[in-house]
Amino acid sequence: MPHTCRNCKRTFGTELELELHLDTCSAGQLYCDECGDRFTERAATEDGWHYRCPNDDCDGKGIDEDIHRVSDARVAKQ
């Protein structure tokens, strides 16, 4: 069963390939601490100010609260 990137719909043969792709996928630069999912800015906010997790079963919300930018996380690790 192929692993599909939910952001750009590319498919990969293994979960590892998908994980590696997610680090560079420009279609999903936000992630949610609550559920661990990656998604696009467009999916998370309509006005660029109020952010919420697009997953129906997750109540993560707020940029820099539950939702973080992938680029910020990389900087923090260094």
Residue 54 in contact with Zn ion, rule: CB under 5 A: no
CB 67 within 8 A of CB 53: yes
Binding mask 14-33 for Zn ion (x = CB under 5 A): -----------x-x----x-
Judged by CB under 5 A, the residue of 31, 52, 60, 63 near Zn ion is 60
Residue 58 in contact with Zn ion, rule: CB under 5 A: yes
Residue 52 in contact with Zn ion, rule: CB under 5 A: no
To which H or E segment does residue 16 belong?
Answer: helix 15-24
Residue 5 in contact with Zn ion, rule: CB under 5 A: yes
CB 29 within 8 A of CB 8: no
CB 70 within 8 A of CB 34: no
Phi and psi angles of residue 31, each rounded to the nearest 5 degrees, phi first: -140, 160
Q: Which residues bind Zn ion (CB under 5 A)?
A: 5, 7-8, 25, 27, 32, 34-35, 53, 55, 58, 60
